[in-house]
């Protein structure tokens, strides 16, 4: 699972993170180019080339250890983060669905699923402007 996660998330390397927010329990992050797509209300929205949806414990810390945000950060706070935009430069994953993205400014996004949590999926990675397969990680590993 570790190699599959690293291979999937390697697509984020050198793609700037430029938007973050929340929808219910899910934190969303958009990376790469901006794309305008139809939304569910007959309008449009702007999405990234890539999106991460997190529904498990995560934290984003600065290089000196200060917390930027985590799974408890509210939508308004996430939207107002100064994202620079900064690209990830490295990815490391674990066999439990966890991963860490290191960014060019020295900050780190750490995603750490809780084993045994009653949840269908921990996180997903996809291209929101295209109809491609989502990479989903849950309690049973990478799901098809």
Query: What does the pLDDT read at residue 82?
Result: 77
Domain extent at residue 16: 2-143
Query: What does the pLDDT read at residue 84?
Result: 66
Which among 117, 9, 106 has a CA at the least distance from the CA of 56?
Answer: 117
* Domain count within the chain: 1
pLDDT by residue, tens only, the chain of 144 residues: 999 999 999 999 999 999 999 999 999 999 999 999 988 888 898 999 999 999 999 999 998 989 999 999 999 999 888 776 789 999 999 999 999 999 999 999 999 998 877 888 999 999 999 889 999 999 988 986
SS3 75: helix
Query: What does the pLDDT read at residue 7?
Result: 97
Q: How far is Cα 15 from Cα 32, in angstroms, rounded to an integer?
A: 4
């Amino acid at each position: 699972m570790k190699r599959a996660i690293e291979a999937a998330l390697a697509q984020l390397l050198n793609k700037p993170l430029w938007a973050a927010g929340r929808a219910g329990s899910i934190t969303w992050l958009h990376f790469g180019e901006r794309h305008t797509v139809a939304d569910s209300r007959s309008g449009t929205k702007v999405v990234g080339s890539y999106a991460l949806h997190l529904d498990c414990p995560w934290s984003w810390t600065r290089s000196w250890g200060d917390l930027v945000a985590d799974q408890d950060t509210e939508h308004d706070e996430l939207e107002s983060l100064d994202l620079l935009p900064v690209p990830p430069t490295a990815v490391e994953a674990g066999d439990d669905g966890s991963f860490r993205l290191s960014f060019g400014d020295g900050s780190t996004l750490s995603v750490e699923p809780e084993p045994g949590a009653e949840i269908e999926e921990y996180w997903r990675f996809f291209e929101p402007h295209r109809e491609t397969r989502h990479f989903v990680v849950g309690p049973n590993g990478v799901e098809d």
